[in-house]
Amino acid sequence: MSPVTDRYAVIGNPVAHSRSPAIHARFARQTAQDIAYDRLPAPLDGFVATVEAFRAAGGKGLNVTVPFKVEAFDYCTHRSARAAAAGAVNTLAFRDDGVHGDNTDGVGLVRDIGQRLGFRFEGARVLMLGAGGAARGVLLPLLDAGVARLTIANRTASRAHELAALAGDARAAGCGFDALGSAASGEGFDLVVNATSAGLDDAAPAVDEAVYDGVRLAYDMVYGARPTAFMRQAGARGCPAVSDGLGMLVEQAAESFFIWRGVRPLTAPVYRDLRAELAARS
């Protein structure tokens, strides 16, 4: 590193598995930015202390992953509108006037689906499975993309209703998984987004498979070397296009890079590299 190398990292627990260093290294080479990007593990009760030590050592910014996104939100002195809407922060920028927090998950999702996959959001009927932190982070960006209807379904219906109410938009509505059979047999959906954690256990969400009838794209926010259980379920039901969330990972990282460096890297070649690496390990 040169004397002027700017330091960034991803903080989390665990964090050893994170692909963020590889992604940002590619972005830096592509845009000729002099940065170093590392993994920064933090004890579960030591987020603030770890961040403060990183800042004191000259760190310029951090990506934040589980379980610290809400703590990061509380830690900030300035928050973007999308961070405020999500109630969580995944990008910290250390500036002269304080700590700026943002959430790039939603824009990462929308860009991957809209640009790489070519899905048209305007007027689309969207079903989002899950009402946890992942869902909250992408709720408003999906509405801002111009969808006609956003149905949030969750195993516990009350959480879906709460998240829909939080949106403050008549296009958003909540329901339980058990209500989706009738919803699917009615108007149906164009896009289904899986924001549950079921894919981490290679399980599909416990929904009536009729929800996939007529769907143009089924998108899982989890990614891996092989199609997820959700993708397999949707494909078996006849969904013509399925995707995991690897592209979302790359796109949200690119937005963080832009926040820090003011330049926007090309994401397509980085996505191709990561996809090839995953395939080689399968």
Rg (CA), the chain: 19
User: Mind listing the pLDDT tens digit for each residue in 188-247?
Assistant: 999 999 999 887 788 899 999 999 999 999 999 999 999 999 999 999 999 999 999 999
Does the annotation list 245 as a binding residue?
Answer: yes
Same fold across 6-103 and 106-246: yes
- The CATH architecture assigned to 106-246 reads 3-Layer(aba) Sandwich (3.40)
CA gap 268, 276 in Å, rounded = 12
Does the annotation list 65 as a binding residue?
Answer: yes
Cis-peptide, bond into residue 227, ω within 30° of zero: no
Give residue 3's pLDDT.
Answer: 60
Q: Domain segments of the chain: what residues?
A: 6-103, 106-246
Give residue 182's pLDDT.
Answer: 54
CB contact at 8 A, 61 and 91:
yes
Q: 9 in helix, strand or coil?
A: strand
Q: Domain 6-103 class? A: alpha beta
* CA 151 from centroid of its chain's CA atoms: 18
Does the annotation list 154 as a binding residue?
Answer: yes
CA gap 99, 107 in Å, rounded = 21
CA gap 111, 69 in Å, rounded = 21
The single residue listed with the structure tokens 């109410």 is: 165
Give residue 14's pLDDT.
Answer: 94
Residue type (1 letter), 49: A
Give residue 133's pLDDT.
Answer: 87
CB contact at 8 A, 221 and 194:
yes
Rounded to 10°, the helix 20-31/268-281 angle is: 140
Does the annotation list 105 as a binding residue?
Answer: yes
Catalytic residue among 24, 26, 60, 69: 69
Whether 69 sits among the annotated catalytic residues: the reply is: yes
Per-residue confidence in pLDDT tens, the chain, 282 aa? 556 799 999 999 999 999 999 999 999 999 999 999 999 999 999 999 999 999 999 999 999 998 999 999 999 999 999 999 899 999 999 999 999 999 999 999 999 999 999 999 999 999 999 998 889 999 999 999 999 999 999 999 999 999 999 999 999 999 999 998 654 445 699 999 999 988 778 889 999 999 999 999 999 999 999 999 999 999 999 999 999 999 999 999 999 999 999 999 999 999 999 999 999 987
The candidate with the shortest Cα–Cα distance to 41, out of 76, 67, 74, 22, is 67
